[in-house]
Amino acid sequence: EESLQMWDLNKRLEAYLARVKFLEEENEVLRAEIQSAKGSPAGDSWRAKYEEELQALRNALAGAFREKCTAELARDNLYEEVQQVKSRCQKEQAAREEAKKQLSLSRKELEEERRAQIWLKERAVQLEKEVEALLEVHEEEKAGLDQEIASFSQSLESFRCAPVAFQPVEVEDYSKRLSEIWKGAVETYKTEVSQLEGSLCQAKENLWKAVEDNQQSQLQLQHLEKDLVGLKARKEMLEESLARQWQEQCGEAEKFQLAMEALEQEKQTLRVQIAQVLEDRQQLMHLKMSLSLEVATYRTLLEAESTRLQMPAG
């Protein structure tokens, strides 16, 4: 029974020794491969290439960050320009409203001047009619006086009196009074006509001033509208440029984000591979230690068995 156990132990020992030898050879091969991989220029070149790619990506990321900062500065500048354009548009809108108010006031003044001019024209026509009526009355009174003088002279000739003896005092006084009344009426008419002419000239001057102010307001309003259209076009162009730059910046940021994610995935893959290699190496070390313990155990058993077999012979 002991011989059978010893034979079984020997078989197991041979199997374990063969496996230990195989694992040691495989371990040596792996160690040689690791050393060759560490010392080979291909590994160094691959690592250098990886470092170069990583450095290039870092430089590209730094450049993208600088471009992002530049784009943000440009965006801020464009925002300030847009705010300035908006403030200028508001100022121009206020100036336009003020011009509209001035235009409405000028139109009201123009309407008032037109009404005053119409009233003056009507007043002038009324005064002309009054003057014509006074002239007609004066002509009628003059004709009546002429007829009375003619009839009175005829009556005087019929009496055949001396011309020196008769002096028509009443007729002369009446004619003087009529002439004075006529002169006063003419002077009054001239005064009123001159006043009306002065008022008409003043109304015309005010009308021309109102028309000129209206024209200037119209021209200023047209200039303001042109400036407003130009500012709106510039605002739209700046907004389009800002949106385009923002889209380009977002696209570049997405590209760099994808590149960083790819690098992160590659880094995780390399970490997993390194961890797998370390784990395999650790397992090999544990297996080697267990085999070493088993070999030491079998060696102790063999030594004990050889000692026991030598004792009876002694």
Q: Region 222-229: what's the mean pLDDT?
A: 83
pLDDT per position as a tens digit, 125-151:
888 788 788 778 877 877 877 777 777
- Please report the pLDDT score of residue 314 as a whole number: 41
Residue 282: pLDDT band (50, 70, 90) is: confident
Q: In the predicted model, is pLDDT for residue 199 greater than 80?
A: no
Question: Which residues have CB under 8 Å from 30's CB, separation 6+?
Answer: 281, 284
pLDDT per position as a tens digit, 252-280:
888 888 888 888 888 888 888 888 888 88
DSSP the chain: -HHHHHHHHHHHHHHHHHHHHHHHHHHHHHHHHHHHHHHSHHHHHHHHHHHHHHHHHHHHHHHHHHHHHHHHHHHHHHHHHHHHHHHHHHHHHHHHHHHHHHHHHHHHHHHHHHHHHHHHHHHHHHHHHHHHHHHHHHHHHHHHHHHHHHHHHHHHHHHT--TTT---HHHHHHHHHHHHHHHHHHHHHHHHHHHHHHHHHHHHHHHHHHHHHHHHHHHHHHHHHHHHHHHHHHHHHHHHHHHHHHHHHHHHHHHHHHHHHHHHHHHHHHHHHHHHHHHHHHHHHHHHHHHHHHHHHHHHHHHHHHHHHHHHH-
What is the C-alpha end-to-end distance of the chain, expressed in Å? 23
- Please report the pLDDT score of residue 139 as a whole number: 78
Tell me the range of 194-198, 214-218, 270-274, 308-312 where mean pLDDT is highest: 270-274
Domain range summary for the chain, segments of one domain joined by +: 16-37+46-157+175-310
For the entire predicted model, the pTM comes to 0.33
Q: In the predicted model, is pLDDT for residue 193 greater than 70?
A: yes
Q: Cα angle vertex 156, ends 150, 159, to 5°?
A: 145
Which of 17-21, 211-215, 224-228, 283-287 is predicted least confidently? 211-215
Q: In the predicted model, is pLDDT for residue 169 greater than 70?
A: no
- Please report the pLDDT score of residue 45 as a whole number: 66
- Please report the pLDDT score of residue 165 as a whole number: 43
Q: In the predicted model, is pLDDT for residue 188 greater than 60?
A: yes
Tokens describing residue 62? 């730094």
Q: In the predicted model, is pLDDT for residue 163 greater than 60?
A: no
Q: In the predicted model, is pLDDT for residue 287 greater than 50?
A: yes
Which amino acid, residue 161? C
pLDDT per position as a tens digit, 34-45:
787 776 655 556
pLDDT per position as a tens digit, 92-137:
888 888 888 888 887 888 888 788 878 888 877 888 788 788 778 8
Q: In the predicted model, is pLDDT for residue 166 greater than 70?
A: no
Mean pLDDT over all residues of the chain? Answer: 79
Contact in structure between 9 and 273 (CB atoms under 8 Å): no
